[in-house]
Amino acid sequence: MIDVRLLRSDLDAVRASLARRGDADLDSLVDTMISLDAKLREITAERDAVRAKVNELSKQVGMLRRDGDAAGAEALQAESRALGETENTLAADHDTMSAKLREVLLVVPNLPHPDSPDGTSDADNPVISGPFLPAGGIDGFAEHQRVPHWEIGTDLGILDSERATKIAASMFTMQRGAGATLARALCQYALDANADAFEEVRPPTLVSTATLTSTGQLPKFADDAYAIERDDLWCIPTAEVPLTSMYAGEVLAQADLPARFMAYSPCYRREAGSAGRDTRGMLRAHEFDKVEILALATPDQAAELLTEMVGRVERLISSLGLHHRVIEICTGDMGQSHHRSFDVEVYAPGCEQWLEVSSVSWFSDYQARRADIRYRPLDADGKPVKGTALVHTLNGSALAVPRVWAAILETNRQPDGTIAVPKVLHPYMRGITVIGG
RNA sequence: GGAACGGUGGCAGAGCGGACAAAUGCAGCCGCCUUGAAAGCGGCCGGCCCACAAGGCCCGGGGGUUCGAAUCCCUCCCGUUCCGCCA
């Protein structure tokens, strides 16, 4: 969530910044926050004053008892008891008000970075790298590449959507044989490619409500997540969720930042809002595998890390021989928690579309405030500064399997209908260099 | 799932109804001493709200008893050990 104090110190800037997202409802939410915050502070001051009086009286009671003045003590106790009731009322009001304010704060999106491009939809996202396409552009692909992966996969016996649906439900997928090996190889490769700088983690894939709230999925997007109600747990939609919360409630040393983590995990998404979209093949599934990279950083380190992480993802995709481009997400298309965001897209010649295969984002302190992840800042001489500060979080998919898998099938389809496995994956394929044939 | 014992500041660890934000040790910061460092000595040293004041809040979370709770009661969560069950 955003810092309420910004509403008091720099209201106009907050309004202007949120306005760039193009959501007309936000302005009235800001008004609500301001009035709740004002009331909350008023009640807090009142409650504190009453508490101070009760504390003072209680001290005196203790002293009078020690001195043997029972009657005097009784009198003060009665006075304090009466004040206690006032305090209870004020405390209850305070808690109600505070809960209301938090409710609003949890649904207000992050402020976009000044350099994030303005825009109202994905049509306004500028291409900042590429597109890297064959000669002739998207018309430059050969005829044998223009077959959608669901046909290729089914024909080669490496994709069995029909049985996946029978076992689970629609929009679940299943890879078989060399297809399953290819999926696992992609994960393995993505982990190895980032192992130079990121600690590998194997996190829980079921998490608590508090954890799913910290990263921004709850309360607003509860319908998009699978819930295990009996045990009050949720299936993670991405490893970002457990990785971000690893240090929730903790205070890190500045020397430990940036802290970098990567994780392979299955990801679960109900896709509640996407019924009927991309229902074929591997473009959209309820369960898929992904390797995530994530960093906790100081505010000063964040911008550079973002660039580094986008670069890593782009190089990884490029090394697989896929035709790609990098776009920056405009203010009107950014996710709720995002401060600045980039997508890497791959062109799939068979289904004839650009596929988002990675999204790398900087969340400023938005998630860290929800999760309460802080560090002890040092000054320029390396001496501790008083107090603590929130870290900045960044994360991105190093590699999301299904769409990359699909793009490889389509891009690497040979005239004879077989699939050439990208060279960088050979070490992970048990000797398979060509699928089919 | 059952039983026992625990959960206190960056860490370790006292306190178990009244001046406790909390002893002590370690770590950290400042200074003295020293050519420098270590040792030693002196001082400082948790976080949060709020305007850096006053004041308030925080001893796993929540609730209760009381004039007053780190301390008593209830409840939940977590940890350790033992039992049960098991990949």
Q: How far apart are CA A390 and CA A298, in angstroms?
A: 8
Residue nearest to nucleotide B30 (CA to C1'): A383
Domain A122-435 belongs to what topology? BirA Bifunctional Protein; domain 2 (3.30.930)
Determine the average pLDDT of the residues in A19-32: 93
Predicted local distance difference test score (pLDDT) of residue A251: 84
Sign of CA dihedral A324, A433, A309, A332: positive
Q: Is the CB of A84 under 7 A from strand B?
A: yes
Two tokens at A116?
């994030």
Supply the mean pLDDT for chain A: 92
Peptide bond into A258 cis (omega under 30): yes
* B7 C1' to A250 CA distance, Å: 16
Task: Check residues 347 to 406 of chain A and report those whose beta carbon is under 7 Å from nucleic acid strand B.
Answer: 374, 383-384, 386-388
Predicted local distance difference test score (pLDDT) of residue A254: 87
Closest nucleotide to A251, Cα to C1': B10
The dihedrals phi and psi of A265, each to the nearest 5 degrees, come to -160, 155
Predicted local distance difference test score (pLDDT) of residue A64: 86
Share of chain A above pLDDT 70, in %: 100
**Architecture field, domain A5-105:** Orthogonal Bundle (1.10)
Task: Check residues 243 to 272 of chain A and report those whose beta carbon is under 7 Å from nucleic acid strand B.
Answer: 251
Reported ipTM: the value is 0.85
Other C-beta atoms closer than 10 Å to the C-beta of A159 total 26
Asked if A282 and A403 touch (Cβ cutoff 8 Å), the reply is yes
* B66 C1' to A81 CA distance, Å: 10
- Using the predicted structure, report yes or no on whether residue A381 has a pLDDT greater than 80: no
Task: Give this prediction's pTM.
Answer: 0.93
* B17 C1' to A100 CA distance, Å: 35
Two tokens at A416?
């004879």
Q: How confident is the model at residue A311 (pLDDT cuts 50, 70, 90)?
A: very high
Q: Is the CB of A54 under 7 A from strand B?
A: yes
- Using the predicted structure, report yes or no on whether residue A68 has a pLDDT greater than 90: no
Two tokens at A15?
């309004």
**What's the angle, vertex CA A380, arms to CA A377 and CA A386, rounded to 5?**
35
Residue nearest to nucleotide B54 (CA to C1'): A49
User: Cβ contacts of residue A57 below 8 Å, gap of 6+?
Assistant: A76, A79, A80, A83
* B62 C1' to A132 CA distance, Å: 57
Closest nucleotide to A87, Cα to C1': B56
* B87 C1' to A256 CA distance, Å: 36
Q: Is the CB of A40 under 7 A from strand B?
A: no
HSE at residue A198, side-chain half, CA atoms within 13 A, is 29
Q: Are strands A419-420 and A434-435 parallel, antiparallel or unpaired?
A: antiparallel
User: Cβ contacts of residue A389 below 8 Å, gap of 6+?
Assistant: A298, A299, A374, A375, A377
* B4 C1' to A295 CA distance, Å: 42
Task: Convert chain A into a string of H (helix), E (strand) and C (coil).
Answer: CCCHHHHHHCHHHHHHHHHCCCCCCHHHHHHHHHHHHHHHHHHHHHHHHHHHHHHHHHHHHHHHHHCCCHHHHHHHHHHHHHHHHHHHHHHHHHHHHHHHHHHHHHHCCCCCCCCCCCCCCHHHCCEEECCCCCCCHHHCCCHHHCCCHHHHHHHHCCECHHHHHHHCCCCCCCECCHHHHHHHHHHHHHHHHHCCCCEEECCCCEECHHHHHHCCCCCCCHHHCCEEHHHCEEECCCCHHHHHHCCCCCEEEHHHCCEEEEEEEEEECCCHHHCCCCCCCCCCCCEEEEEEEEEEECHHHHHHHHHHHHHHHHHHHHHCCCCEEEEECCCCCCCCCCCEEEEEEEEECCCCEEEEEEEEEECCCHHHHHHCCEEECECCCCCECCCCEECEEEEEEEEEHHHHHHHHHHHCECCCCCEECCHHHHHHCCCCCEECC
Q: Is the CB of A273 under 7 A from strand B?
A: no
Tell me the per-residue pLDDT of A142-157, one tens digit each, with 9 for 90 and over. 999 999 999 999 999 9
Tell me the per-residue pLDDT of A402-414, one tens digit each, with 9 for 90 and over. 999 999 999 999 9
Q: Is the CB of A57 under 7 A from strand B?
A: yes
Predicted local distance difference test score (pLDDT) of residue A22: 94
Q: Are strands A374-376 and A251-253 parallel, antiparallel or unpaired?
A: parallel
Q: How confident is the model at residue A338 (pLDDT cuts 50, 70, 90)?
A: very high
Predicted local distance difference test score (pLDDT) of residue A85: 85
Q: Is the CB of A53 under 7 A from strand B?
A: no
Please list the residues that pair with A20 across neighbouring strands. none
* B14 C1' to A209 CA distance, Å: 36
- Using the predicted structure, report yes or no on whether residue A220 has a pLDDT greater than 90: no
Q: How confident is the model at residue A376 (pLDDT cuts 50, 70, 90)?
A: confident
Domain spans in chain A, listed from the N-terminal domain onward = 5-105, 122-435
Q: Is the CB of A68 under 7 A from strand B?
A: no
